Amino acid sequence: MLDRARLSLGVEEQFLLLDPRTGVNRPVTEQVMAKLPDGVRDRGRLELRSSTVETATGACTDLRELRDRVVRQRRAAAGAADDAGAWLAAIGATPVGEPDTTPPARPRHRAIAQRYGPVALDPAVCGLHVHVGVPDRELAVQVCNHLQVWLPAIRALTGNSPLFQGVDTGHASWRSVQLLRWPGIGPTPWFSSASDYDGTVEALKTAGVMFDEQMLSWYARLSPARPAVEVRVNDVCTDVDDTVLTAALVRAAVATALADIRAGRPPARPRTCVTAAAHWRAARDGLAHTLLDLRLGRARPAWELVSEFLAVVSPALLGSGDLDLAIDGLDRLRRVGDGARWQRETYRRTGDLRAMLARLAQRTAG
């Protein structure tokens, strides 16, 4: 049995700041950050867009602790946003527009804007990043190899960005598509060792694709700060319950990968282009239709593949005490749908995009 204490867990959530009158992005990040209480501000980070706020829970030991931190940080950020005249919205991509794309007055942000040109001026996107601690970097590399076949299904669980410029894109996660304009993003390559991983990162830096390892945006990567795996495929979730569910499933997938590694079971190695196609399909349709099973190379009903994923990681969920939460959470998702479905249904019912965004902001703050 894996030592549960070694599988610490944390999440980073990114939020949009919206103008309550128009729904467009509002560039008041620095005002909001200044109003956050010390315990939350210390874990925040200034992003490239001045209309986003990011909070991080730090490492937790169980899901109750994680949930408490997420709730506390969201409430604090929503209050600070309100004081700054904005809505805090857990939504994966800019739904209306971003009139002001001036980067924050920081040397790093200015350098990024100069290096990447118009790509760096794209409207803001917001993700959910899940960090799971592992014993060492060598194991972290192997875990990333094993995770590849399940990451499209994990992505499909959190589609929460169907809108762009006020219009339905037809995608569950437009954020996933928009991010592909950046270099250094996509499926994680297969690596034989940590030195192989590090050598590739150095080659990308030499090529000028990124300034440093922090800019690396593979769908699963090694944490630059400590022995941990970061899964970065998900849109930010409107509901706290979905955030906690996603974190539980990612940790279980990492624990399952560690068990496979120690048992000598090798990972599947689908072609990179097929893996990219599986992610496109997950971003396009979410849980509504089919997903590509990378182990078999064929399409399967989305919920059939998700159910199989749950079966594979159930021993790890049972060991961490999270199995009932995962089963209940997936049952709820199957009934009510993901964030993209909620946005579409609410927009259709109200006929008013601003009204939908107002309700989304209320749900964000709990």
Statement: residue 45 has pLDDT above 80: no
Cα four-point dihedral sign 40, 41, 44, 50: positive
Residue 263 lies in a domain: yes
Range of the domain at 44: 4-360
CA distance 47 to 108: 10
The DSSP code for 338 is -
Kindly state the tokens that stand for 88.
Answer: 């805090």
Please state, in angstroms and rounded to a whole number, the distance separating the CA atoms of residues 326 and 305. Answer: 15
Distance (Å, rounded) from C-alpha 106 to C-alpha 113? 11
Residues in the chain: 366
List the one residue out of 208, 14, 202 whose CA is nearest residue 117.
Answer: 208
pLDDT in tens, 283-320: 999 999 999 999 999 999 999 999 999 999 999 999 99
Q: What is d(CA 257, CA 259) in angstroms, rounded to the nearest whole number?
A: 5
Q: List, as one string, the DSSP characters of 33-80.
A: HHHS-HHHHTT-B--SSTTEEEEE---BSSHHHHHHHHHHHHHHHHHH
pLDDT at 6: 56
Identify the CATH number of the domain in which residue 280 sits. 3.30.590.20
Q: How far apart are CA 85 and CA 18, in angstroms?
A: 9
Predicted confidence at residue 54, as pLDDT, reads 95
- pLDDT tens by residue, 312-359: 999 999 999 999 999 999 999 999 999 999 999 999 999 999 999 999
**Three-class secondary structure of residue 213 per DSSP:** helix
pLDDT of 2 strictly over 70:
no
In whole angstroms, how far apart are CA 319 and each of 1, 57, 219, 313? 8, 23, 26, 10
Contact status, residue 94 vs residue 22, Cβ threshold 8 Å: no
In a domain, 365, yes or no: no
Give dist(CA 7, CA 4) in Å, integer: 5
199 assigned to some structural domain = yes
Residue 293 and residue 302: Cα distance in Å, rounded?
A: 9
Q: Tokens in use for 54?
A: 């990011």
Does residue 46 surpass a pLDDT of 80?
A: no
**pLDDT above 70 for 5:** no
Amino acid type, 239? D
255 has a pLDDT exceeding 50 = yes
Element (H or E) spanning 257, and its range? helix 240-262
> Is residue 104 included in any domain, yes or no?
yes
Asked whether 283 and 155 are in contact (CB, 8 A), the reply is: yes
Residue given tokens 């089963």 in the structure block: 327
The pLDDT mean for the chain works out to 94
Higher pLDDT, 232 or 4: 232
Whether residue 366 lies inside any domain: the answer is no
Please list, in sequence order, all residues whose beta carbon lies within 8 angstroms of the beta carbon of residue 95, skipping any fewer than 6 positions away. 23, 161, 163, 164, 166, 343, 353, 357
Convert the pLDDT of each residue in 48-86 to its tens digit.
Answer: 889 999 999 999 989 999 999 999 999 999 999 999 999
Nearest to 34 by CA among 80, 90, 71, 76: 80
pLDDT for the residue 200: 96
The answer to the question of residue 239 being in a domain is yes
Task: Classify the C-alpha dihedral 129-134-140-144 as positive or negative.
Answer: negative
Tokens of 296: 């078999």
CB 141 within 8 A of CB 128: no
Q: Dihedral angle at the C-alpha atoms of 347, 351, 355, 356, nearest 10 degrees? A: 0
* Alpha carbons 129 and 55: distance in angstroms, whole number: 11
Residue 38 forms part of a structural domain: yes
Kindly state whether residue 135 falls inside one of the protein's structural domains: yes
Between residues 214 and 75, the one the model is more confident about: 75
| Residue whose pair of structure tokens reads 């993003």 in the numeric block | 185
In total, how many domains does the chain have? 1
Task: Count CB atoms within 10 A of the CB of residue 48.
Answer: 18
CA distance 31 to 27: 9
> For residue 186, what are the β-bridge partners?
218
Cβ count within 10 A of residue 156: 29
